[in-house]
């Protein structure tokens, strides 16, 4: 899937690209800045399943050379015209934790954090890249506190090397690598004080983040994703995985768009049966989200009033309405393209596809900010 606006823009400009390499697809978004606005130039996505001999929508574990092959293909299909890139690092390949320290250590964080990190990182410190930022307390907080809150971030050197090689093989100049949650938050949320849950509903896993004042306070990974809907429907309806995936993408949970009659490839199963199968598969995922939300609220004494969904799984037709009926918070779908400008005729398409492109948009927005 791709859409290029390059024929509309002929003026020579500095463009950037965000690259999100997921388990089931690669997404790219190219932006440029004009008069302080982020202009969408092109975007695209490519399924990774076919590169490993499985169906579209299935999670994969591809070697770097296959990922590079797919990335080059989507860059070509989307008519990407820049090599200036930001690339996302999977959350599972990183460690993010808020560390609490005595306020007296504020001026010695450079010496303290590598030592403190040993308590959280299960490998030798010289095997990871460390970064940290003061997110609470300290001299500039305006409050007299005896504790600092420092966000610690660690990524294994092997992971960085892998993604550098992918960028090199794809002829991209990667100016930075960023853990996917930070990109998603940048594209999906506005600045706010109250805690908000950001849920990335991917193909293989569902990631639950609590974000407060722009800081990821905690995270939880649910080892189920949108591919479960396809696989379970395939088994329940006795149809192929490809047929189940097509049914999921075209109709989802939207009763109004579900065709009458028997599903092609099945002797007896109707569209209503398929919808019921998808709902049954979603139920345990949404139940775990609800449980994680309740646990945070009980522990921290704060309410999560909004849950924002990102990831390709949340583009399922009828997903927001069904999730709203199961969760005790306002449910919103991320609208990352709402932070960009594009022709009005694309508004509906971009809003519908938005959740899937949150990370890629967030990466491109960061690069534009760096360029000033």
Q: Tell me the per-residue pLDDT of 290-338, one tens digit each, with 9 for 90 and over.
A: 999 999 999 999 999 999 999 999 999 999 999 999 999 999 999 999 9
Fold of 190-333: Nucleotidyltransferase; domain 5 (3.30.420)
- Average pLDDT of the residues in 59-63: 93
Question: Can you tell me the distance from the alpha carbon of 232 to that of 243, in angstroms, rounded to the nearest whole number?
Answer: 12
Residue 11 is predicted with a pLDDT of 44
Fold of 93-156: Dna Ligase; domain 1 (3.30.1490)
* Domain parsing of the chain, residue ranges: 1-83+335-372, 93-156, 190-333
Q: Which residue has the higher pLDDT, 340 or 137?
A: 340
SS3 content of the chain, % helix, strand, coil (to 5): 45, 30, 30
Q: Say what the pTM is.
A: 0.89
Matching CATH topology for 93-156 and 190-333? no
Q: Tell me the per-residue pLDDT of 283-295, one tens digit each, with 9 for 90 and over.
A: 999 999 999 999 9
128 beta partners? 156
Residue 99 structure tokens: 């560390």
Q: Tell me the per-residue pLDDT of 156-205, one tens digit each, with 9 for 90 and over.
A: 999 999 999 999 999 999 999 999 999 999 999 987 778 999 999 999 99
Question: Can you tell me the distance from the alpha carbon of 68 to that of 322, in angstroms, rounded to the nearest whole number?
Answer: 37
Q: Tell me the per-residue pLDDT of 91-123, one tens digit each, with 9 for 90 and over.
A: 989 988 889 999 889 999 999 999 999 998 888
Q: Which residue has the higher pLDDT, 274 or 16?
A: 16
- Average pLDDT of the residues in 264-289: 80
| Beta-carbon count within 10 A of 234 CB | 20
Residue 143 is predicted with a pLDDT of 56
Mean pLDDT for the chain overall: 89
Question: Can you tell me the distance from the alpha carbon of 362 to that of 336, in angstroms, rounded to the nearest whole number?
Answer: 8
> What percentage of the chain has pLDDT greater than the value 90?
71
- Do 48 and 69 form a contact (C-beta atoms < 8 A)? no
Q: Which residue's entry shows tokens 């020579």?
A: 12
- Do 147 and 100 form a contact (C-beta atoms < 8 A)? yes
- Average pLDDT of the residues in 136-147: 67
Where are the strands (E) in the chain, listed by range? 2-4, 15-21, 25-34, 37-47, 84-89, 94-102, 128-136, 147-156, 173-179, 196-201, 206-212, 215-222, 306-310, 330-333
Those residues whose C-beta lies under 8 Å from the C-beta of residue 299, and which sit 6 or more positions away, are: none
- Do 242 and 201 form a contact (C-beta atoms < 8 A)? no
Q: Which residue's entry shows tokens 């938050």?
A: 185
**Assigned architecture for domain 1-83+335-372:** 2-Layer Sandwich (3.30)
CA distances to 30, 42, 125, 253, 321 from 80, rounded to whole Å, are: 7, 7, 38, 34, 35
271 pLDDT tier (thresholds 50, 70, 90)? low
């Amino acid at each position: 899937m791709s859409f290029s606006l390059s024929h509309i823009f002929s003026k020579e400009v500095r463009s950037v690209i965000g690259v999100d390499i997921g388990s089931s697809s690669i997404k790219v978004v190219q932006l440029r800045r004009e008069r302080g606005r982020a202009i969408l130039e092109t975007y695209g996505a490519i399924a990774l399943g076919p590169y490993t001999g499985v169906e579209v929508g299935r999670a994969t574990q591809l070697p770097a050379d296959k990922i590079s092959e797919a990335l080059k293909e989507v860059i070509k299909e989307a008519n990407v015209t820049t090599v200036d890139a930001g690339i996302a690092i999977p959350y599972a390949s990183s460690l993010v934790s808020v560390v609490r320290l005595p306020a007296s250590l504020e001026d010695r964080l450079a010496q303290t954090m590598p030592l403190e990190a040993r308590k959280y990182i299960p490998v030798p410190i010289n095997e990871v890249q460390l970064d940290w930022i003061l997110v609470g307390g300290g001299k500039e907080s305006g409050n007299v506190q005896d504790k600092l809150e420092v966000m610690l971030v660690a990524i294994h050197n092997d992971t960085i090397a892998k993604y550098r090689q992918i960028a090199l093989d794809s002829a991209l100049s990667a100016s930075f690598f960023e853990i996917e949650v930070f990109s998603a938050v940048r594209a999906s949320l506005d600045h706010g004080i109250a805690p908000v849950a950001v849920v990335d509903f991917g193909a293989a896993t569902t990631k639950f983040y609590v974000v407060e004042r722009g800081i990821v306070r905690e995270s939880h990974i649910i080892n189920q994703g949108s591919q479960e809907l396809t696989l379970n429907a395939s088994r329940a309806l006795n149809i192929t995985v490809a047929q189940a995936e097509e049914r999921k993408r075209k109709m989802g949970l939207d009763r109004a768009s579900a065709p009458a009659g028997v599903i092609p490839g099945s002797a007896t199963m109707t569209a209503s049966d398929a919808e019921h199968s998808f709902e049954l598969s979603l139920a345990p995922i949404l139940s775990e989200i609800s449980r994680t939300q309740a646990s945070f609220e009980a522990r921290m004494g704060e309410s999560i009033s909004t849950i924002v969904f990102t990831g390709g799984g949340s583009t399922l037709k009828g997903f927001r309405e069904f999730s709203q009926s199961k969760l005790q918070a306002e449910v919103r779908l991320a609208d990352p393209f709402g932070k960009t400008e594009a022709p009005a005729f694309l508004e509906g398409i971009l809003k519908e596809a938005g959740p899937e492109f949150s990370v890629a948009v967030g990466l491109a927005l960061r690069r534009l900010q760096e360029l000033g």
